Amino acid sequence: MGMFDTIHLKEPLICPDCGTKVSSIQTKHFDSCMADFKIGSVLSGSPVLIGIVKETLWCNACYKAGKQPAESPVYLVIWHSLLAGVEQDLAKAEARLAAVDRLDLISWLDEAQREAGRWARSYHKLFSDVSRWHEHLTRPPEPETTGPDAERQRTFRRFFSLPDEILTAADPLAAILAANKQKGDGADD
């Protein structure tokens, strides 16, 4: 079985045969290395720098219903190796290609930076939780503090340790994984 790349669409396409929404397209036109693309992505390995590539819309609903999906074209609009649009109508694809401008670039850049920021924050949170769990497992037991500073020191330690709901969970590592599970794309915090 060959590899492919997947294009994810915020605005789903509609199967012309059954009306089902199709929100992703698999394609072998580019590097075919299981990459995920969306509008605004650089299409690594695109043999086309500027132009329109014809792909076929695959409708799973038609396939499951035993219907051989009719040949249903999808046009990938490529502008300087960027995926600028996905259209089911060639005239619309041509219009899209002609209309790409600097505001499109700014909005794609903005989205890419937000997404990079989300991933960086997610990574640092997960790394911090796992590090604190590792410290918790390997740290020698603290001598019980007494004296006037005891409460302050305990508060200080609690501040840097994992929350109690994780430390007291039946499976703390599972609790860390659950707390750090990626929400769907577009979760903008």
Does residue 65 touch Zn ion according to CB under 5 A? no
Q: Where are the beta strands (DSSP E) in the chain?
A: 5-14, 21-27, 36-37, 51-56, 73-79, 82-87
Q: Which is nearer to Zn ion, 64 or 181 (CB)?
A: 64
Cβ closest to Zn ion, residue 18 vs residue 177: 18
Name the minimum Å distance from CB 19 to Zn ion: 7
Given 7, 15, 83, 84, the residue binding Zn ion (CB under 5 A): 15
> Please, what is the minimum distance in Å from the beta carbon of residue 66 to Zn ion?
12
Binding string to Zn ion for residues 102 to 121, with x set by CB under 5 A, is what? Answer: --------------------
Q: Could you tell me if 15 and 37 are in contact, meaning their C-beta atoms sit under 8 angstroms apart?
A: no
User: CA-CA distances (angstroms) from residue 119 to 20, 23, 113, 133, 181?
Assistant: 32, 23, 10, 21, 12
Rounded to whole angstroms, how far apart are CA atoms 79 and 98?
Answer: 9
- Rounded Cα distance, 14 and 86, in Å: 12
User: Which span (10-18, 98-106, 122-130, 162-170) binds Zn ion, by CB under 5 A?
Assistant: 10-18
Closest contact distance (angstroms) between CB of 15 and Zn ion is 3
- Pick the binder of Zn ion from 61, 112, 126, 169 (CB under 5 A): 61
Q: Among 62, 83, 166, 175, which residue sits at the site for Zn ion (rule: CB under 5 A)?
A: 62
- Residues near 55 by beta carbon (within 8 Å), at least 6 away in sequence: 25, 27, 29, 73, 74, 75, 76
Residue 88 binds Zn ion, judged by CB under 5 A: no
- Is 17 a binding residue for Zn ion by CB under 5 A? The answer is yes
Query: E-assigned strands of 17-117?
Result: 21-27, 36-37, 51-56, 73-79, 82-87
Binding of Zn ion by 59 (CB under 5 A): yes
Residues 6+ apart with CB under 8 A from 85: 39, 76, 77, 93, 96, 97
Choose the stretch contacting Zn ion; rule: CB under 5 A; options: 51-59, 94-102, 119-127, 180-188.
Answer: 51-59
The residues that touch Zn ion, with contacts defined as CB under 5 A, are 15, 17-18, 20, 59, 61-62
